[in-house]
Structure 1
Amino acid sequence: MGSPASHSELLIATVLLDIALVLVAGTLLGRWVRRLRQPAVIGEILAGVALGPSLLGLLPGNPTAWLFPAEARPFLSTVAQIGLALFMFLIGWEFNPAQLRSHRGTAAAVSIGSIAVSFGLGVALATLLYHRHDTVGADRVGFTEFALFLGVAMSITAFPVLARILAERRLTGTRVGSIALISAAIDDVLAWCLLAVVTAIVTASGPFDLIRMLILLAVFLVVLRTVVRPFLVFLTRRHATTYLLVAVVALVFLAAYVTTWIGLHAIFGAFCVGLVMPRDPAPELGERVRRPLEHVSVVLLPVFFIVTGLGVDIGGLTGANLLELAAIVLIATCGKLIGAIVPAVSFGMSWRDAGTLGILVNTRGLTELVVLSVGLQLGVLDGQMFTMMVLMALITTALAGPLIRSGRTQSTSPTDQDPAAHSSGHSVPSMRTGRTTTPPWSR
């Protein structure tokens, strides 16, 4: 017989076992929620929560503690960050400013309105919640940081999940669907910019440090635009797709390191590389670069869900927390509805279509979890606040599908169809290419 495995070998084996459990649980729950006509991401998030202290940890012997020991969690976090970085790159790559020409006035108004109202209501809500969540561990959280972060978290719209709902409800080619999709894309960019500002404020040790971070960020963006993008364009024109895939992944990780060194989160670097990534030739890039990265992201992202779920403890919520949760869900929903409906109606949309639009942009899904994980890592959110915000993301995302009935909006008439849309209702239009695709992370 061989010698007993060392402690490090057992630790690595435990991490591999954890990943296997996460993939199986996420797949099973994902398939189950799809039968309920919900995005699979809901089931994957629920799997992460179920494997954490909220359910599995309540069983005798606390299986969560020995299945996911404290020593293994940094390794799981590393795997999760790799998947998250690739996901953020794909989100940045999916955004194409050229698509904003269609319905740009209405979409911009809806996007800015929904973010502004949600952000303002989130800051207002922070004044009521701050005194109960102003301490994380032994550290006191400043009100400015707490309020700004809560405002950003309320402003999120999940572009991938929204795109999936549009496809399933056969709204992709309609006017309201096109406006919702474009608004969500604008929301993504604005929300990440807001989060970058808040992160800089939280991590800066003073005004001079904040100025230093902003200068370094500006230099980073200039380098991306003047050096990295031409390099990527050169590789695509030479059809060096094998080298291009390696170069893209290396640049994503390098940019993640640079933004972390600057004082921002790693996701910002990955997202920015996606923004400068060439869009053409679309078929070749989609086949040789985008598809492999999507497949890797699909495998690694569920690990992010379990890492998130380990920080969610529903059993730790008190009666007062449940009232706070109700207020959070109400404010989050009202902010998006008011912020979207008012500008939509002012641009000539019917109240029914505007209401549908407000429901659509209220979806948060995985994108919200990314933002909340940043807040948890920065020490802005305590455990209870983090749990309530995750539940808010689940509730608002789960409500969107049932509230929208296919064919009920006036915009489904042929005269309102987007002439550029060619979707059959079972796939999602790519913001980069106009082709129809189904993002794996929204399944």
Structure 2
Amino acid sequence: MKITAEVLRDLAEPSNVAVHSNTELAGDVSIAAADDDKQREEKELDRLRRKPGLDPIPAKDLGRLAQLTPWDVLHSFGRAITLARRGAGRGLAEHWGCLKYNQALTGNADSFMALSAEGKETAEYYKALQSGELGTGFALALATRLLSRRYPNHFVSIVPADTALRAGWALTSRDSGPKSGYRYRPQFFAEVWRPGEPSRVFPIACKGNHSGLSASHTQLASASAHVEAVHIGAWDETPCLVFSTELPLDGPLAVHTLEAGGEGGWLDAPERVLDHPLEDENVYPGIQPPSQNDKPAEPEPGYHVSPELYGWFQHVLAHTAAAGLTAFAGDTSATVQYLTKRQGQRHFARLTHAATDSVQDARHRFFGIDFVGTDHVFRLNRKRVEAFSGVAEDLFRHLEEGRVEQYRREIYARRSTWPRGIWAPRWNGPVSIHPDGSVLAMRLLRD
């Protein structure tokens, strides 16, 4: 068992991540999709509509290798699940779930990242959970990096798809409104934006496995159905990204990824005031294909953001991103103002169980920047450690007071100015700061 100080150092150690995307992968995924379609037909199951034309990502865009720290991956995962509402706790502490993987990964600058001894042991008992959650962290970290390179003068925001879609559609039988009856959805949206201009949205489906390359082929084939469930604009013109992270028990991990192009995904509508409250819409489910032979086609299952919804959906994405950030900082009242009833407003306003809540009452300074947020104290290898998640104080005050427009203008202006340090000497622990102003840090508590 490593001593706690070594664990903290390992979390800040950059390591190479193998990224696999080529024509052979695209072909193997197409074969896996055809095999699954055949099995579904034999079992008389409904036909799945899949994203056509999944292609490899050019090496010049993604590169064969990417360097990440385990702490950055956990930060990406923690930010992604702040609004997940998956645990038994009803408070704002969902994101602390990322900390259970603080000893799961190992590597250094001269090697590829892989599962550590503890990560392998955990995989024996919680394969699906660990691979899926770590796969989310790697996928979102790489998707953000990829889109930032392709759109260098824009900002990339990651938004949980279920939370965003619930503002307009009834996703399950518990939601009010016309039921979609369709269980396939992307896990996230990446919104690429700049103030005062149309933004572009990319559905993202991400999975993970401990089984091997063939399992990734099957997962990417499944992911093609998830991203196809949302159309923004014209039929089959919405670009998307799919990921499957392979975490073998012997050898380095690999992220397998493909994309689909298209001219759609643009939310080009008259600008709305993002500071105004957001209300639920009741959008009838279904995606409208183009008419054939002058006859309107029957709608396909899914969720269609048509042109009259562009401004509203842009508003939804901005508010959902703001809610995720204030939840990451542990502020209940600031989060509630950005969610609609169907998005789970009550979940963040009602009484919480003991040990499942978080409170925005902590303050720390990293690399000359003041952050406010919430903290969590627990034991790591018998030593007490403190984790802190928060937001740069000046940015948090904008969100706390409902100034989404000002917040977005400032993070856009500061997107390339944030400190790149991964270890704060005075704090004495790993620190990850993201361009949205969020921070995740951990340190050993001294007596």
TM-score bucket of the superposed structures, by smaller chain: under 0.3
Q: Which has the higher strand share?
A: 2
Q: Structure 1 length normalisation: TM-score?
A: 0.22
Q: Structure 2 length normalisation: TM-score?
A: 0.22
Q: Which has the higher helix share?
A: 1
- Structure with the bigger RCO (C-alpha within 8 Å, sep 6+) is 1
